[in-house]
Amino acid sequence: MITAANPGPNRALAHPKDFILLLEGVNKAFEGFKAITDLNFALDEGELRIIIGPNGAGKSTMLDIITGRTRPDTGRVEFGRDTDLTKLNEYQINRLGIGRKFQTPSVYIDHTVFENIWLSLEGSRTVWSTLFSRISPAQRDRIQEVLKTVGLTDKANSKAGLLSHGQKQWLEIGMLLAQNPKVLLVDEPAAGMTDEETHKTGELLHSLEGKHTIVVIEHDMTFVRQLARKVTVLHQGHVLCEGSVDEVQNNERVIEVYLGRKKKA
Ligand code: ADP
Ligand code: MG
């Protein structure tokens, strides 16, 4: 019987507080180069978290580890109460509800915006089977809802290849949302965007908060300020500090890492 005194095998994974995602003591080396070193990271459900850090800090590798693209050498990577992600492959992790958006948008350029979302809906499989099947009213409603969320309603019938860079990024976020993920990992969404597109992206991410747990990797500090949520600073594969935007911007070690000098007294 599983009791508090005899918690059973799964309790080994449980923590005093339940996080939706937890990394503990994670290490990863590539041919001797330590990309991730003793990384600890925890996310609350519904949170919008920003990760910053210099180039090569290990930000993308951290997402690779969460999504099963890269296996950690050591450490725990857990989803929810008792799912050990290090035992699962990329596909299985995605099916659990962890969606990732890479830096460069990858959309079906010869299909319309509407079709792109349709192809991404939960349960949709191949381009062939989707586009030659009949769309249900429920699917149509869901697609319209996603298009509205990402601000592409009036582009529904445009070929995705004709969208601006920013619009392609939103479409790809929409394609992720169509799968209704619990956790959304977004790598540098504002890279290459105009200021106006960047601002709209911030509004989009805020609108998703609470409905999904979101991790945003970013280095545009204006954008980070707009998001105004807890920031984790990665440096050399390790968390250097965590806190509000102001706290991390005034942190001596962060200033040293970013600017290569000590803060003036
Ligand atoms: P960031 O996203 O913070 O800029 P990355 O996570 O992409 O940093 O990279 C961290 C370090 O790990 C870099 O030095 C990078 O060259 C190295 N790295 C990442 N992935 C691999 C890989 N698959 N093979 C070899 N080295 C890698
Ligand atoms: Mg990166």
Least confident of 53-57, 107-111, 118-122: 118-122
Which residue is closest in CA terms to ligand 1's atom 25? 30
Mean pLDDT of all residues in 21-34? 97
51 Cα–ligand 2 center, Å? 11
Ligand number, closest to the Cα atom of 57? 1
Task: Please give the pLDDT value at position 121.
Answer: 86
**Residue to mutate (ligand 1; options 26, 27, 28, 30; most atoms within 8 A of CB):** 30
CA atoms 238, 243, 244, 248: torsion sign: negative
Tens of pLDDT, residues 219-262: 888 999 999 999 999 999 999 999 999 999 999 999 988 766 55
Task: Please give the pLDDT value at position 258.
Answer: 78
Q: Does the beta carbon of 59 lie inside 6 Å of ligand 1?
A: yes
Name the token pair of 58: 């290990």
Least confident of 112-126, 133-147, 215-229: 112-126
Sorted by sequence, the CB contacts under 8 Å of residue 261 that are 6+ apart come out as 255
Q: Does the beta carbon of 55 lie inside 6 Å of ligand 1?
A: yes
Kindly report the pTM of this predicted structure.
Answer: 0.88
What is the overall mean pLDDT for the chain? 89
Which residue is closest in CA terms to ligand 1's atom 21? 30
Least confident of 7-11, 59-63, 186-190: 7-11
Task: Please give the pLDDT value at position 8.
Answer: 43
Tens of pLDDT, residues 67-96: 999 999 999 999 998 899 999 999 999 999
Mean pLDDT of all residues in 40-69? 96
Give ion ligand 2 contacts, CB < 5 A.
59-60
Mean pLDDT of all residues in 122-150? 81
Which residue is closest in CA terms to ligand 1's atom 24? 30
- Which H, E and C letters describe the chain, residue by residue? CCCCCCCCHHHHHCCCCCCCEEEEEEEEEECCEEEEEEEEEEECCCCEEEEECCCCCCHHHHHHHHCCCCCCCEEEEEECCCEEHHHCCHHHHHHCCEEEECCCCCCCCCCEHHHHHHHHCCCCCCHHHHHCCCCCHHHHHHHHHHHHHCCCHHHCCCEHHHCCHHHHHHHHHHHHHCCCCCEEEEECCCCCCCHHHHHHHHHHHHHHECCEEEEEECCCHHHHHHHCCCEEEEECCEEEEEECHHHHHCCHHHHHHHHCCCCCC
Tens of pLDDT, residues 188-215: 999 999 999 999 999 999 999 999 999 9
**Residue to mutate (ligand 1; options 28, 61, 186, 236; most atoms within 8 A of CB):** 61
Which residue is closest in CA terms to ligand 1's atom 22? 30
14 Cα–ligand 1 center, Å? 30
52 Cα–ligand 1 center, Å? 15
Confidence of residue 124 (pLDDT cuts 50, 70, 90): low
pLDDT of residue 6 exceeding 50 = no
